[in-house]
Structure 1
Amino acid sequence: MAPVAAYDEIADWYETTFVGERGGNTSLGVDDALRDLLGPVPSGRRDDPCLLVGCGTGAYTDLVRDLGWSPVGVDLSAGMLRHAMARLPVARADAERLPIRDGSVPAATAVMVHTDMPGYPAVLREAARALAPGGVFVHIGVHPCFCGGFADFADPRAVVIRPGYRDSYWTKQSWTNQGLRDKVGAMHRPLPELLHAFLDAGLVLERFAEGGSPTPTMFAARARKPR
């Protein structure tokens, strides 16, 4: 299992070195996927709230706000929220127990965080509970088929997929040369298990996206709570 608030110890490094001044995941197609799958606020409803589950330092706040949404962040790490609070309203909370009343938010996102959450199926159930009927949930994360302890990224021109993809497990084996996963670890779930978690939460999957190279390193999905 992941240590509680594992990012507390590396929050300053994450903000200044890993992410820097802006997102850090542009080359993975994260920004494009978020724009496409979340999209602008429906006409006439500017400043509707969008809940950023696992908001971290708030790196995607400006992008969400540019789409017309009013971002509100939730994260377990007080260290990360220390940076985020200058960017958006935040609350410190476990994503498996969101401090949000039932059916109260029209949109929610989880961007590059699902591997940090061993209980992600419970997080999806909580997001579904908090969403208003017809509300949208956008998931963007590392691609489960090509990123994990089984993936060898030593050659930048090709990724070697070794045995282990079909298993679910927590690991600190680094997937990249960025020095993050060896610090905080990550939960791997194969793609079918991840998609089933959306369905089990009562969400309806609508659209998908991939990004990164030489193999896709980002997988994204938009799901909706039935009306």
Structure 2
Amino acid sequence: MAVYDEIADWYETDFLPRTTPGDPIGINAAIDTLLGPGAGPILEIGCGTGIHAAELSALGWTPLGVDLSARMLAYGKNRLPVARADATRLPLRDATLPAAIAIMVHTDMPAYPQVLTEAARVLRPGGTFVHVGVHPAFCGGFADRSDPEAVIIRPGYLDGHWTKDSWTTEGVRNRVGATHFPLPTLLRAFLTAGLRLVDFVEGGAPVPTTLSIRAVKS
């Protein structure tokens, strides 16, 4: 998306170095637990600058990436093979992949239910889809996370909306905005896409920041 073209340099050279040491919100732990070791290609939907390619490769997978932002892909192509594509129209044939993954991108995609349907289309029967995303119940314009010890939930969770409201001016969301999916809406989208829910992991403390889901194509 064009807005990520505008922040790509900041994201790569400023934001990532400040936020990626260790695994503070459990992204890598979720990938390890829900995806696990494997072989063959895995498609990262919304790969951005490709920072998760090393983790996927360490598990034995061969990562491939798609993203809509050309500027983000300019960095990503140094980390994995990439293609510029809309996640609702993946440039792949039906039932070609053993696995696909989307990492911290569903709030960037107002059409995420269609993205899940498209992911299911390109997966082989029994193929794995892993979703790693911000926690719908504890992250969003309705959630005040300025106190790390206690998240305050204000009205707005049930609305389902797009917003640039953020508790910090040092992050991504106040720059690009976010689409909010209440938890039932998100989970129902998996079922509608023909993805069977298998396992879940929460990450971050003391209040979860991420909710990750493993699903299998029916």
TM-score, reference length from structure 2:
0.96
Output aligned runs, 1:39-78, within 5 Å: 39-41=36-38, 46=39, 48-78=40-70
What residue in structure 1 maps to residue 173 of structure 2? 181
Shift of 1:131: 0.4
Q: Please, which of 95, 102, 118 is the counterpart of residue 126 of structure 1?
A: 118
Q: Please, which of 121, 129, 136 is the counterpart of residue 137 of structure 1?
A: 129
Q: Which runs of 5+ in 1 are unaligned?
A: none
Q: State the distance in 2 between where 1:183 and 1:78 align.
A: 18
| CA gap 1:22/1:143 in 2 versus in 1, 3 angstroms | closer
2:215 corresponds to 1:218: no
Once superposed, what is the RMSD of the aligned Cα atoms?
1.4
What does the per-residue CA deviation read over 1:128-148, in whole Å, with 9 as the maximum and x for residues that have no partner? 000011100000000000000
Shift of 1:26: 1.5
What residue in structure 2 maps to residue 105 of structure 1? 97
2:214 corresponds to 1:205: no
Partner-residue secondary structure (3-state), 1:115: helix
| CA gap 1:159/1:21 in 2 versus in 1, 3 angstroms | closer
Paired AA for residue 91 in structure 1: A
| CA gap 1:25/1:195 in 2 versus in 1, 3 angstroms | farther
Q: State the distance in 1 between where 2:62 and 2:11 align.
A: 24
| CA gap 1:217/1:22 in 2 versus in 1, 3 angstroms | closer
Shift of 1:24: 5.8
Task: Give the percent of matched residue pairs that are identical in Structure 1 and Structure 2.
Answer: 61
What residue in structure 2 maps to residue 7 of structure 1? 4
Shift of 1:20: 2.1
What does the per-residue CA deviation read over 1:148-203, in whole Å, with 9 as the maximum and x for residues that have no partner? 00001122221111011111100011144532111000000110000000000000
TM-score, reference length from structure 1:
0.93
2:23 corresponds to 1:26: yes
Is the CA contact (8 Å cut-off) linking 2:149 and 2:207 kept in structure 1? Answer: no
| CA gap 1:191/1:176 in 2 versus in 1, 3 angstroms | farther
Shift of 1:10: 0.4
2:158 corresponds to 1:161: no
Q: State the distance in 2 between where 1:89 and 1:24 align.
A: 24
Partner-residue secondary structure (3-state), 2:138: coil
